[in-house]
Amino acid sequence: MATANPRRGYLLGIIAYTIWGLFPLYFKAIEAVPAMEIIAHRAIWSALFGAVLLLLWKHPGWLRELRANPRRLGVLALSGLLIASNWLVYVWAVNNGRMLEASLGYYINPLINVLLGMLLLGERLRRLQWLAVGLAALGVLQQLWQVGSLPWVSLVLALTFGFYGLIRKQAPVAALPGLVVETWLLLPLALGWLLWHPSAMSTQAAFWTASEALWLIAAGPITLVPLLCFNAAARHLPYTTLGFLQYLAPTLVMLQAIFLFGEHFEPSKLLAFICIWAGLALYSLDIWLNLRRRQAA
């Protein structure tokens, strides 16, 4: 495994989460297409785009290693199902006026990452980081209380992406080959769904003369680029740190939900966001201070 490069990890993480935060703009452009059909095409075009990338961006020996370790196929199949489930719930939430609930899910996800990092990876938090996590947890609890019921959209998004990131961080497969294998393992399911639904919009010839067709084809690069950045960032940063970067995406989603798509945002939720951003600021300060200490040493 290559030596960790925290600065590269931060840059890649910021790129990934910014793109994910702007995803609602993309899904709103194709909201006439049902969520399941969008996911089927995301798998198809991601598989094709990924294969082209793999031909251009060489990774010598990855296929030989995969054949020598067939259990890795099972791991990638599981991570592929997790990310596909995450896609489906997210697209459905965006196109059904539940973007704020989706935003909450990705606010919860860093806490899931912290929990998984401590329980399964043996990562430990410093005092200031514990305070940051406590503030963020307080903000999330405030949001959960405001929802008033079990926010299943939020919890499914947080758990599926949390375990996806954990599996991919642990899987000894490079980011691009791993993503290509994931999408190719999803390909039979996607094609099978389209065959079982001959009345689907994208199975009609007239559909491919509309603008939605180009948007669906664009799902390949739009899906793979941030995932590539995320998987690469996961190899350069502690999982707990990667989790806190994720606050960029739900904040962008929240702002779009309120100011672009008119979802109602109660003023009482402001306290939750203040707590979450205060936690993020403290965690970032601790990382900066720790880097300074290492450089001085």
Query: What pLDDT is recorded for position 243?
Result: 65
Residues 33, 45: Cα–Cα separation, whole Å: 16
Query: What pLDDT is recorded for position 248?
Result: 85
pTM (2 decimals)? 0.81
Neighbouring C-beta atoms of residue 234, cutoff 10 Å: 22
Residues 295, 293: Cα–Cα separation, whole Å: 5
Give pLDDT < 70 ranges for the chain: 1-3, 147-150, 239-240, 243, 268-269
Query: What pLDDT is recorded for position 3?
Result: 67
Q: What is the DSSP letter of 173?
A: S
Distance between alpha carbon 76 and the CA centroid of its chain, in Å? 16
Neighbouring C-beta atoms of residue 105, cutoff 10 Å: 28
Neighbouring C-beta atoms of residue 122, cutoff 10 Å: 7
Taking only the tens place, the pLDDT of each residue in 187-206 is 999 999 999 998 899 999 98
Query: What pLDDT is recorded for position 251?
Result: 86
Residues 257, 265: Cα–Cα separation, whole Å: 9
Query: What pLDDT is recorded for position 1?
Result: 47
DSSP string, 42-53: HHHHHHHHHHHH
